[in-house]
Amino acid sequence: MDANSPHDFPFAIVGFDLDGTLLDTSGDLAAAVNHALASIGRAPLSVEAVKPMIGGGARAMLQHGLDATGGYDAETLDRLHRLLLDHYEANLAVHTAPFPGVLQSLDELAYRGVKLGIMTNKLERFARAILGSLGLTDRFTSIIGGDTLGVTKPSPRPIQAMVEQCGGGSAAFVGDSIFDVQAARAAGLPVVACSFGFLSQPVEALGADAIIDGYAELIPTLMRLSPSAT
């Protein structure tokens, strides 16, 4: 633990994206995409090819996968979306695990009295099921999915709701996509980007207030940020 007082911390709340930020879900998401693609005779995509497709929700991820393997029509997208969701729901945490250092960082934040939240574009029931299977649910005061409020990132509303559910106060957000950065900025929060996430563009292009290359850097980085950074 840091030798500083746990109260010497600039944020009362820290929110996180899920996929590519807290958890490496790429193996299970790629398997779900490939299950859907196989149903129409498409070749499978590698996990590395699927990673940049993650972040905008399952339907957008599938659209990218179909575009990469020959295109699609609306009926095919609707049918395969349901197939993907059913497969994913049955195989949520086969390969999924926290990124290195995540648990230690969450422990440190909790020691400092920080309330933790999640705002993900993943369906809330999927997010809760994965967190439950990994024994992480109780660490978070708020868990908001892409369907919880009927709007997703980059809208600021879900992040604002997460802050409210955590009791309000100074907050920061941690993510790995342009959706995370745009939503946090629109909500008035400083934002940290993860260079190890599921990036669809260079991490420097996201416009975050800070970048971390691993969770060992998270607490020191947050300590340097001001709640009024945005």
Active site residue 17: yes
CA distance 84 to 54: 14
| Active-site choice (2, 17, 19, 147) | 17
Please list, residue by residue across 94-116, b when 16 or more beta carbons sit within 10 angstroms of its beta carbon and e when fewer do. eebebbeebbebbebbeebebbb
- Within 10 angstroms of residue 203's Cβ, the number of other Cβ atoms is 17
Asked if 109 and 116 touch (Cβ cutoff 8 Å), the reply is: yes
Asked if 65 and 77 touch (Cβ cutoff 8 Å), the reply is: no
List CB contacts of 4: < 8 A, sequence separation 6 or more. none
Write the DSSP string, 35-78. HHHHTTTPPPPPHHHHGGGTTS-HHHHHHHHHHHTT---HHHHH
Helix (H, G, I), strand (E, B) or coil at 155: coil
Task: Residue 21: name the closest of 127, 148, 162 by CA.
Answer: 127
What are the φ and ψ backbone dihedral angles of 217, each rounded to 5 degrees? Answer: -90, -5
Can you tell me which residue has the tokens 């993943």? 122
User: Catalytic site residues?
Assistant: 17
